[in-house]
Structures are given as structure tokens and as C-alpha cells.
Amino acid sequence: MTGASTPTHCPYCALQCAMSLTASPAASSAGSADAPSAPVTVAGRDFPTNRGGLCKKGWTSAELLRAPSRLLAPLVRGEDGELHESGWDEALDLVAARLRGIRASHGADAVGVFGGGGLTNEKAYQLGKFARLALGTSRIDYNGRFCMSSAAAAGNRAFGVDRGLPFPLEDLDGAATVLLLGSNPGETMPPFIGHLAGAQAAGGLVVVDPRRTATARLTDDGKGMHVQPAPGTDLVLLLGLIHLVIAEGLVDDEYVATRTTGFDGLRRSVAAWWPERVQSITGVAALTLRRLARRLASGAPTFILTGRGVEQHVDGTDTATAAINLALLLGLPGRPGSGYGTLTGQGNGQGGREHGQKCDQLPGYRKITDPDARAHVARVWGVAPDVIPGPGIPAVELLQSLGRPGGLRALMVHGSNVVISSPNAGAVRHGLESLDFLVVCDFFRSETADLADVVLPVAQWAEEEGTMTSLEGRVIRRLPALDPPEGVRDELWILHELARRLDAPSVFHVRPEDVFEELRLASEGGIADYSGIDYAMLDAGEAAYWPYPRGSRGTPRLFADRFAHADGLARLVSVRVRAEVEHPSPADVLTLVTGRLLEHYQSGAQTRRVPELADAQPEALATVHPATAARFDIRDGDTVELVNSRGVVRCRARLSTDIRPDAVFVPFHFAGLQTANLLTSDAVDPVSAMPEFKTNLVSIRPISEAVA
């Protein structure tokens, strides 16, 4: 492959920026521990989402392919308690024997699988099949539960379908108004910002965020509005906007009458949310609310987009539903040049949840409780429907069951670092330590892998083949630019070998294309129908947006004529504030807001190993407003301790007016005592099972100890 240029896509976020990888001569010595850290060079490639641009993470992504800390052989925990290198047969034989023994002693549901939103469609599909057939367990879920579950639940109940953006990203280019709720693409997916230029030029970029983020600063100089509500009051804000749209006669009456149902109930449900009441709770001026409602209803091309900031709450589904209600009242979904969508976070957050990693779904976004769905998938797998287990339990509940009576005794983790990324992370660590057996597949010794009994080294993005599904619902190809290191294996091979050792029914293919061909059949007729897509058409550059039934041309834009409910109508679902918003006492505690940094991704297991990124952001900083800092006697650079009933975090303080005085911001990419999720709650949304990541109360104080 030396000197060859390979078209592929970035391994990080769901924007899936196109890039070209050119192999260097050193790449031919695949697997040498002494090989350069970047055996391929990265160049941006013209593609509708990124138009040749990449962010810092994309430009430096190749450095991880031959990083010195790369795992190059399986690790097995010895009698001395340490992890030692072993051969593949030894490691896989051990895994199969231990899993078989735990199943025999405690039942199939004593073994669990935790997947990841960065796995290819092929691996996500095979992992769900492996859990249900090779292990016979219902206990599978994935880290997308922490990302997209509230938006997905809201989309399903309103539209009858869940696709992050039901339109191509390029449609945003012509927008006069874009309302961004709880999203910071300026740092999380920088090339996305180019699609907001039209709204900026029209003065119509509106960013709702309690922080003055890089994205919020794009509204400066008359280019839009930054609306800065109190943390956790997004639902109230949206109910207030809906109230205004109805009260001021801004509703698209014809659209609502012909394309929706539930308006009368919605109108009654928001009657009490007059602007001044909303102002008293959110801190957003009534005049600002009125200006925003009128801007959204101007009739110009308008989009409403949500992100994790409004979704990662115990009322995240209702908040996302309220945003959808607002969009429907304005007649945006399905209208040419306008729309509603949500910005998927992880690289394959969309495809990863469509084909079997979620505890309640089978491939094609089929419900696991649907007898017809079970029969269809069983035919493809060559098994009887009753062989497939029923629904399992969502991610937080699954992790809460670790090591408990009647809970999980063994866990397999693929593409996730749950010790850092899970809510109430201290309890999750304790649960992992309580297991009889833990297996982790990863590129590096992550904080989760450090606790494992067996660690299996797997191929990285530039060494594997498969497909991903971007935030637009577009299926794209991932092509290998070089061979993986000698001691590394692809997860499809690992699952095949384990399935063979466990005497699993059905066939577990090793070639990605063979797995995709099976996925096509399993998804056929489902909501996420991939049956009309194949590798050849993707290699030819054809744009493939699901649903893509056999014989069709795909669906770049949903909702042009009808929604996915049987009657074709969207549901206006009335939601309410279930309890009074909890405001922190100024003299006591602050609201902890967690989020991402430009230089890092997810748990930081990869980006903290890239020198350029780690040097730019080497540690977690607690961002505090200067007035708040003065009240707590905190100076810039002081070590501070953040405490609540779940844990303690220590990091240095950064003073900034970009944060509200009632809040503190800590990024969630770091380990040890800088793990922000030591403080977050594992209480969940009753509909989506999304945990409460964004509004946890903490006390703060300066301490003399240095940051560990």
C-alpha cells in the first residue's frame, strides 16, 4: 500500500469529514513498535459535510495508528494480579471458557455486552447478533444511550422515525435563521460551522447555551443572538416560546391542520407559560423571547437544531419533544429549505443504534418485542424466533447491575471507556471491580481496560473496512489505508472466533462485506432499511441516505409528504415541567455543567495520547465566573475541590465571564480525580433512560493540595 492514497472518513464525530490517507514507506512494516507514530499522512477531501476542512482532531488522527502505547498483543491478568501478554488462542479460549462457566452457573443474563457508537455498522450488527445468539443474553446496550437516546425517543414519538438530520447538511447553507439549542459545534465539529454562514450573514444565528461558547461567539457583531438561560431550564424556555407562537398568532395553521395531530392539547398545556413567568425561571428577558419567537416565525428558511445540552437530562425527551413541537407549529419539518434535526455526536451514533446494540432493538430499527420483526430477523439468522432473547435493560441500569445479586457477573466492553464516560463513575468503577470477569476490546489500555481480566487489541479506523452512518443518515464507506499491526485483530474476527468456541448457532462472517450483505437482509422492511445499499454503489460515490429500500434511490429528505406514523401525521405531544426547577443557593452550591473541548473527544482515551492535543489541553479546568470566584475566595489557577454526595473532583480554576455566576463548567475527557462524571447523577429520563449529565449540584472550595 506504500504511496497509495485512500479515500476514507475521520474516526471521530458524526460529521464524518472526508479525508485522504497516503501511506508512507514505514507503513509496510505494519506492527513494528518502532514504526513512526503517523504511518499515513492526512489530507482533507472535498465532501458535502466538510468541503475539505478538518478540525485539530482530524488532522492529528493518524498519530494514534502507531502510538507507543498501542496494544499489540492480548493481555491476560495473571495470578500476580497484573496484565501480561498472551497469545490469541490462549486469550480467546480463556474468554470462552469463563463466559460459558458463568452462563452455566448464573444464567445467560449474568453475561452482558456494552457497545459503542464508534463501531462500524458491520461491527455493531455483529455485536448485537453475538450477544443474542452466541451468549444468549438480553443484556446488551451501548454508550449511545448517553448521547442520542432522548432525541431518538422524541423523534420516534413525534415523527415515527429517528434520524438525526432528516435532510442533507447542505440544506442549512440557505437558512436565514438557525436556532441551535444546547449544541457547540464550534468546538465539537468545527467544519460544521461553514454551513451556518448564511444564517450569520442574515443576522439569524441563535445559540441557546448557559455558556458563552465558541459557537455562541459566532453571534457577535449583529450576526445573531446568544440566549443564556439558567442551567436546566431549557424546557421552560421552549414552553414559553410555544406559548408565544400560539398567543401571537404565529402558528402555520394550514400545516398544523393538515400534517399534525394534538394541537388542542398542546395549546392548553402551555397556557400558563407567559413570557414574564418564563423570564423569572430562565433568566431570559421576556423581550428576548418575543423577538426570538417572531424571528422563527418570519417565514424565511429556518432550522431548529438540538444537541446534548438540552437532551442529557432526566427530562431530555420532553425537552427535545418541546423543540419538535415548536418546529411543527412553525411548519418547518419537511418544508423545502427549512427543518428540524438533532446533531448526532459519536462517529456512528446513528448507525450504531439502528442494527442491534440497543437493548430493545433488532436490525433495521425493529422492536425486539414485535413478533413479525423477530420472525424476520430469525429467518436471516437461520434460527427459531424463540432463540432470540427478549428486551434487555438500558445502559445505566445495566451498569448499576454489575456484580449485584441477580445482576451481571461478566461484561464485554467494545468501543467504550465506561470508567470515564458513565454517570456516577465511581459507582461504575466499583461495579466493574466486583465482576467475576471483564473483557475489554480496545486500541489502548484505557481506564476501563486497566480493570479487565482480558484485554483484546483491535484494529483502528485506518486499518479496517466497513460502513458508517453520518449525522445526516448517509451511509458512507470506510476503507483501509494500511494493515493492522501483527498482533492486532479485527473485532469481526474476534466475534467469529468466540462464537465458534461457544458453539453459537448461525454464521458469524469475518469479511465486512459479507456482514453488510447480511445486515441488508436483516434490515429489509424495517424503519432503517439498508437493503438497497451495497459496497459497489458506495465505492462509486453514490449518496445513500436511509431508508433505502431495494430498488429505490434512498431518502435524502424525510417528511416531504408524510411522517412515519401509520396515518402520515406528526404528533404534537404535550409535555410539562414535572417538578419545579431546582435553583442552587448562591451561598451554597453551583450547578455543574459538563461538556467537550475542541482538542478532545469523548473519554479522551485517544486524544489524550496525541501530543499536540494533550499539550493544548493537558488537564480539566473548572470554569467559574469571577463574581462567583470572589464569593468562594478562589483565584485564577487555584486548585479547587468540587464535591457532592457521589464524589470529589479536583482541578484548577479558570475564571471567565463566559459562564453564568450560578454554574461551573468542567470538561468530561479526563481521568483520575479530574473525572467530571464522578459528580454526575445516574438518575434517568423515564422515557429514554438518558442520565442527568448537565445539571448536578456541587459545592466548591479552594484547597492547598496540587492537582493529582
Number of H helices, E strands in the chain: 23, 30
Rounded mean pLDDT of the chain?
94
298, 308, 316: which is closest to 238 by C-alpha?
316
3-class secondary structure, 59: helix
Mark out the alpha helices in 444-587 (DSSP H runs).
491-501, 512-523, 535-539
Lowest mean pLDDT among 213-227, 394-408, 578-592: 578-592
* pLDDT > 90? residue 286: yes
- Confidence band (pLDDT; 50, 70, 90) for 707? low
* pLDDT > 90? residue 578: no
Query: Average pLDDT, stretch 175-188?
Result: 96
pLDDT of residue 375: 98
pLDDT of residue 581: 46
47 Cα distance to chain centroid: 22
Q: What separation in angstroms does the CA of 536 have from each of 47, 123, 516, 554?
A: 19, 19, 12, 15
Burial code (b: 16+ CB inside 10 Å, e: under 16) for 448-474 equals: bbebbbbbbbbbbbbbbbbbbbbbbbb
Distance CA 304, CA 24 (A): 44
Query: Average pLDDT, stretch 355-367?
Result: 95
pLDDT of residue 552: 96
Distance CA 439, CA 411 (A): 6
50, 303, 60: which is closest to 190 by C-alpha?
50
Rg (CA), the chain: 24
Amino acid present at 373: A
- Confidence band (pLDDT; 50, 70, 90) for 27? very low
Note whether 365 and 527 are within 8 A (CB).
Answer: yes
Q: What are phi and psi of 410, to 5 degrees?
A: -145, 150
Amino acid present at 669: H
Note whether 35 and 73 are within 8 A (CB).
Answer: no
Query: Average pLDDT, stretch 266-289?
Result: 97
pLDDT in tens, 645-677: 999 999 999 999 999 999 999 999 999 999 999
Distance CA 29, CA 367 (A): 46
pLDDT in tens, 385-418: 999 999 999 999 999 999 999 999 999 999 999 9
Question: Percent of the chain beyond pLDDT 70?
Answer: 96
The DSSP output letter for 458 is B
Amino acid present at 457: P
* pLDDT > 80? residue 26: no
Distance CA 93, CA 107 (A): 20
Note whether 391 and 361 are within 8 A (CB).
Answer: no
Which residue, chain included where needed, has cell 409528504?
561
* pLDDT > 90? residue 327: yes
Q: Which cell is 575 given?
A: 409535555
Note whether 472 and 169 are within 8 A (CB).
Answer: yes
Q: Which cell is 570 given?
A: 406528526
Query: Average pLDDT, stretch 37-50?
Result: 91
Q: Who's near 152: CB < 8 A, 6+ residues apart?
A: 162, 353, 688
pLDDT of residue 371: 98
* pLDDT > 90? residue 155: yes
Find out whether the peptide bond into 168 is cis, omega within 30 degrees of 0: no
- Confidence band (pLDDT; 50, 70, 90) for 3? low
Query: Average pLDDT, stretch 58-62?
Result: 96
3-class secondary structure, 649: strand
Q: What are phi and psi of 307, to 5 degrees?
A: -140, -170
pLDDT in tens, 66-114: 999 999 999 999 999 999 999 999 999 999 999 999 999 999 999 999 9
Q: Which cell is 480 given?
A: 483501509
Amino acid present at 621: L
User: Which of the pair, 33 or 442, is modelled with greater confidence?
Assistant: 442
Q: What separation in angstroms does the CA of 145 have from each of 186, 262, 365?
A: 24, 28, 15
pLDDT of residue 34: 42
Count other Cβ atoms within 10 Å, centred on residue 287.
10
pLDDT in tens, 476-517: 999 999 999 999 999 999 999 999 999 999 999 999 999 999
- Confidence band (pLDDT; 50, 70, 90) for 31? very low
Question: Percent of the chain beyond pLDDT 90?
Answer: 93
- Confidence band (pLDDT; 50, 70, 90) for 704? confident
Domains of the chain (ranges plus CATH)? 88-146+349-462+483-508 (3.40.50.740), 149-342 (3.40.228.10), 590-702 (2.40.40.20)
Specify which residues 376 forms β-bridges with. none
* pLDDT > 90? residue 368: yes
Note whether 549 and 532 are within 8 A (CB).
Answer: yes
* pLDDT > 80? residue 311: yes
Note whether 224 and 309 are within 8 A (CB).
Answer: no
118, 76, 189, 156: which is closest to 457 by C-alpha?
76
